[in-house]
Amino acid sequence: MFTVLRKPKTFKLRALHSQKKFGVAGKSCQEVLRKGCLHLQLPVPGSRLCVYEDGTELTGDYFWSVPDNSELVLLTEGQTWQGYVSDISRFLSVFHKPHVEVIQAARQLLSDEQAPLRQKLLADLLHVISENIAAETRAEDPPWFEGLESRFQNKSSYLRYSCESRVRGYLREVSSHASVVDVDTQEEYVRIVDAMGQKLKAAQYNGSYFDRGAEAGGRLCTPEGWFSCQGPFDMDDCASRHSINPYGNRESRVLFSTWNLDHVQDTHGDLMNIARWGLSSLNSAMPLEGACLAFLRMKDTMGEGSAQPALQQSTATGAGRATPQQTLSLGGWLCSNGL
């Protein structure tokens, strides 16, 4: 009797793997299921309703506690739904090669979505899968090159140049510090910095770090151009799993320029420490250049570029060869600012 007096509950219903939703009202779970199956031309036996958000099955006991206008998924026999994770899994399965249909589906979901958090997730996902990552030349992706000099005709060459410029900049900062070094050690400081400069020059300033076309041992990204944040310099990894692909679009390229080569303490700070550490080794048993190169090995800067063999021969430590991923802490301002 009480159920009869209640107003029908309204829902938004859709079939599994369909983005089309329709409204349905009913005073019981069975009534809503029956109407949904009729609309979608699906068999009632074996079918059931689940809440889109978390995959909870809609039963008679649960029916009246579900808010009006909740989104439901109608499942036939053998089908399953786990909530948001099901949609995420579907997108991830085609994420590496998103098709036009996937992008259209994401846009449709976003246009119908009302929850702010889900809107944000969908917008971010749409931004990523719409990127023109595979394109390499200026002709293939003109927007990516906006604001860059015409001499850059492909993405890899620009990002290689960008990495070289950063390292050169760090070296210039370290060189300029010579004027404030104690007079007694200034000459030695300059010699150490010059030695580092020669090693970096021989390695072409490790421009290959940002070049997705470089050999696997010389780059910090995947062949597609994805960089994974390796966390602050004093941690083993990035708990937030930050990642970025500067090859995707202009916005990602610009944002990538804010990522530090070494979190919190930038690479020019490491170079400064190398020089200071070399000076402090003057009274040690280790030769000055060997001490300097040992520090270079520990703190990176050189990585596994073309200068690595010379570095390995000169190093006085017994450590094994380090990969760029082990030596260079790449990441963005996110971790640097505790985000």
Taking only the tens place, the pLDDT of each residue in 250-286 is 989 998 988 876 543 444 555 555 555 555 544 444 4
Number of H helices, E strands in the chain: 14, 6
Is 9 within 8 Å of 64 (Cβ atoms)? yes
In this prediction, residue 89 carries a pLDDT of 64
In this prediction, residue 115 carries a pLDDT of 74
Q: Is the pLDDT confidence value at 144 over 90?
A: yes
Using DSSP, state whether 73 is helix, strand or coil: strand
Distance CA 50, CA 20 (A): 16
Measured CA angle at 156 (ends 155, 160), to 5 deg? 120
DSSP state of 207: G
Q: Is the pLDDT confidence value at 197 over 70?
A: yes
Distance CA 33, CA 40 (A): 10
In this prediction, residue 334 carries a pLDDT of 43
- The number of beta carbons lying within 10 Å of the beta carbon of residue 307 is 20
- The number of beta carbons lying within 10 Å of the beta carbon of residue 137 is 13
Distance CA 62, CA 212 (A): 53
pLDDT digits (tens, 9 = 90+) for 107-139: 777 777 777 877 787 777 777 766 788 899 999
Average pLDDT for 133-150: 94
Q: Which residue type occupies 253?
A: R
Residue the block writes with tokens 């990516």: 144
Among residues 6, 8, 10, which one has the least CA distance to residue 69?
10
- Return the percentage of the chain with pLDDT > 90, whole number: 31
Q: At a CB cut-off of 8 Å and minimum separation 6, what does 181 contact?
A: 189, 279
Is 316 within 8 Å of 310 (Cβ atoms)? no
- The number of beta carbons lying within 10 Å of the beta carbon of residue 24 is 22
CA 219 from chain centre, in angstroms, equals 16
Among residues 144, 334, 139, 95, which one has the least CA distance to residue 248?
144
Domains of the chain, earliest start first: 2-81 (3.10.20.10), 85-129 (no CATH), 145-336 (no CATH)
Measured CA angle at 236 (ends 229, 281), to 5 deg? 110
Q: What global pTM score does this model have?
A: 0.55
Cross-strand pairs, 73: 14, 50
Is 49 within 8 Å of 75 (Cβ atoms)? yes
pLDDT digits (tens, 9 = 90+) for 170-196: 888 888 877 877 777 788 888 888 888
Q: Which residue has the higher pLDDT, 92 or 22?
A: 22
